Amino acid sequence: MTDPRVPRGRFFITGTDTEVGKTWVACRLLEQASAAGLRTLGLKPVAAGADPAPSPCGTHDGPTNEDARALMAASSIKLPYDQVNPVLLQAPMAPHLAAQQEGRRMNVARLAGYVRGALLSDAARDPDLLLVEGAGGWKVPVNDRESLADLAVELDLPVILVVGMRLGCLNHALLTADAIRASGLRLAAWVANVLPGQTMAALDDNIATLEQWLPAPRILR
């Protein structure tokens, strides 16, 4: 990522935990790149938590997911909802548990196939910026053997890590970065996301510590 303001390439977006702003960060990156004239696409292969709001452009009948709708709105490449979010689970909980409740079984090969299939469509070929957003943190289970980390590995995508800036984030960020490297993937960049309604003591010092320890540039300054 040569220009931290306008990223290019294909990346997997993960976080230090759930509710740390992965979708917010992904949308800001997509919007910045779109404003620079780049072709952008955000995908959410699996989402847990459905609501009755319609998909943008009327591309889907039935419930949708808020994060997937946000990615669609921020992307310059417009795909049908089912290609952006092929697996929508009803309950807002860990995806493997939500799938169990619905009698469904997910696996990494199928999720990766959905992503590759979306990229084979004429509209989505060769995006300048592709962001594939996970669910929750790096090692969230997909089934009893696989996690979303395995999806990033299967897709061979460098990783952008969203760090929710709150007490404990240093440990969470460094452990996640170690796990990403142990998976054989590159930590391409990270974001220090100050969460709405929360304050962190010594925020600047904590960010400086992460800048010293994380082997990747900080973006979205």
Question: Which amino acids are annotated catalytic?
Answer: 44
Closest CA relative to residue 161, chosen from 141, 184, 131: 131
Q: Which among 25, 129, 46 has a CA at the least distance from the CA of 93?
A: 46
- Tracing tokens 């938590």 back to the chain, one arrives at 49
Query: Helix, strand or coil for residue 33?
Result: helix
Residue type (1 letter), 4: P
Which residue is listed with tokens 């540039």?
Answer: 217
How many other CB atoms are there within 10 angstroms of residue 21's CB atom?
19
Positive/negative CA dihedral, 92, 109, 146, 193 = negative
Q: Is the Cβ–Cβ distance between 98 and 91 less than 8 Å?
A: yes
Radius of gyration of the chain (CA): 17
* Amino acid making up residue 59: T
Cα–Cα distance list, 37 to 1, 34, 116, 150, 199 (Å): 17, 5, 24, 32, 35
